[in-house]
C-alpha cells in the first residue's frame, strides 16, 4: 500500500516551454503533498508543501510564480515549471503520507527528470 | 544557522561488516528522525523512523539510535551486503511534529564483495 506515482518520468524540452509534472497517490488520499528537487549528487531540497484545496506553501528562495502548484483533488498534485530554462533542469520528486500528520513515513514518487535545452 | 549534516559523503565497507552512518543536526528540535534509502534515478524509500523519546529502533539488519543531547542519529547496517549499496538519507521535521520533513546531505554507501 501507500503508492505514489509520478508522471512523466522524464521530459526534454526547449527553453521557454512550460512543463507540468503530476503526482498521484494511488491507494490513499493525501491532503498534503510535498515537492522536492534534487541536483546530481546532492540531497533533496524541499520546494513547497502542496495543500488540497488551498494555496501551496513555498520554502524560502523558491519562486512561486515560476513553480506553480495545484492540488485540486485528494489524490493529485501538479507542479508546473513555467518558462523553463536550462538552470531549471533537475530531478523533481513528490511525496505524500496517508495520514497527512507528522511522525509518519513519507512515500515518494520515482521522480521526474527534467532537461531543458 | 540550521543544518543537517551526514558526516560521510561516501563510505566503502567490506561485505559482512557493519556500516555505521552518522546524521548530526544543528538548531533544530525534531520530534522524530527518519532514514531513507535512495537508489540512482529513483525516489527515496522509507526505512526507519525514531521518535525523540526513543533511544533505539531496530528492523531486521538495521538499527537506528537517536541522541537528542548530542543532536545525533546513528544508522547501522549489520552483516552488510552488496545489495545494501545505495545513498542513505536522514530527515527530520523542522517544525516539531509537523508532516514536513527536510533531508540531510546523504551518504553514498558502497559494499564491496
pLDDT tens, N- to C-terminus, chain B (113 residues): 888 999 778 999 999 999 999 999 999 988 899 999 999 999 999 999 999 999 999 999 999 999 999 999 999 999 999 999 999 999 998 876 567 888 998 999 999 99
Give the distance from residue A40's alpha carbon to the nearest chain B alpha carbon, in angstroms. Answer: 10
Residue B11 has what pLDDT?
A: 93
Name the DSSP letter for residue A40.
Answer: T
Residue A103 has what pLDDT?
A: 77
Of A32, A34, A43, the CB nearest to B89: A43
Give the sheet arrangement for strand B19-26, strand by strand: B3-6, B19-26, B72-77, B62-67, B56-59
Strands B86-92 and B102-103: antiparallel
Residues of chain B found within 8 Å of residue A62, distances taken between Cβ atoms: none
* Rounded CA separation B25/B4 (Å): 4
Count CB-CB contacts under 10 A for residue B53: 9
In 3D, which of B76, B11, B18, B7 has the Cα closest to residue B47? B76
Give the distance from residue B105's alpha carbon to the nearest chain A alpha carbon, in angstroms. Answer: 5
Question: Do B32 and A100 make contact, defined as CB atoms within 8 angstroms?
Answer: no
Of A100, A102, A108, the CB nearest to B93: A102
H or E stretch at A70: strand A67-73
Chain B residues whose C-beta is within 8 A of a chain A C-beta are: 31-32, 34, 36, 41-46, 49, 51, 89, 91, 93, 96-106
Contact status, residue B88 vs residue B74, Cβ threshold 8 Å: no
Judged by a CB distance cut-off of 8 A, whether residue A113 touches chain B is: yes
pLDDT (tens digit, 0 to 9) for every residue of chain A, 117 residues total? 789 999 999 999 999 999 999 999 999 998 889 999 999 888 899 999 988 888 899 999 999 999 999 998 999 999 999 999 999 999 999 999 877 676 788 999 999 999 999
Phi/psi at A77 (nearest 5 deg)?
-125, 140
Contact status, residue B31 vs residue B19, Cβ threshold 8 Å: no
Q: What cell was used for B113?
A: 564483495
Question: Could you tell me which chain B residue has the CA closest to the CA of A46?
Answer: B102
Residue A80 has what pLDDT?
A: 97
Q: What cell was used for A3?
A: 503508492
Give the distance from residue B6's alpha carbon to the nearest chain A alpha carbon, in angstroms. Answer: 11
Amino acid at each position: 500500500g501507500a503508492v505514489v506515482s509520478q508522471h512523466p518520468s522524464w521530459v526534454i524540452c526547449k527553453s521557454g516551454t512550460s512543463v507540468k509534472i503530476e503526482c498521484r497517490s494511488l491507494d490513499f488520499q493525501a491532503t498534503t503533498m510535498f515537492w522536492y528537487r534534487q541536483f546530481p549528487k546532492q540531497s533533496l531540497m524541499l520546494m513547497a508543501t502542496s495543500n488540497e484545496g488551498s494555496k501551496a506553501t513555498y520554502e524560502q528562495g523558491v519562486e512561486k510564480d515560476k513553480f506553480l502548484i495545484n492540488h485540486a483533488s485528494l489524490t493529485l498534485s501538479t507542479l508546473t515549471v513555467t518558462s523553463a530554462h536550462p538552470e531549471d533542469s533537475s530531478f523533481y520528486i513528490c511525496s505524500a503520507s496517508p495520514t497527512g500528520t507528522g511522525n509518519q513515513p513519507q512515500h515518494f514518487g520515482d521522480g521526474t527528470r527534467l532537461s531543458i535545452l | 544557522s540550521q543544518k543537517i549534516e551526514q558526516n560521510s559523503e561516501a563510505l566503502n565497507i567490506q561485505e559482512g561488516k557493519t556500516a555505521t552512518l552518522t546524521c548530526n543536526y544543528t538548531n533544530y528540535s525534531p520530534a522524530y528522525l527518519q532514514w531513507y534509502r535512495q537508489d540512482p534515478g529513483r525516489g527515496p524509500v522509507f526505512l526507519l523512523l525514531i521518535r525523540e523519546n526513543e533511544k533505539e529502533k531496530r528492523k531486521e539488519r538495521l538499527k537506528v539510535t537517536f541522541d537528542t543531547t548530542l543532536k545525533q542519529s546513528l544508522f547501522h547496517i549489520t552483516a552488510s551486503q552488496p545489495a545494501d549499496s545505495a545513498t542513505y538519507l536522514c530527515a527530520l521535521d523542522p517544525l516539531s511534529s509537523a508532516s514536513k520533513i527536510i533531508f540531510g546531505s546523504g551518504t553514498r554507501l558502497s559494499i564491496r564483495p
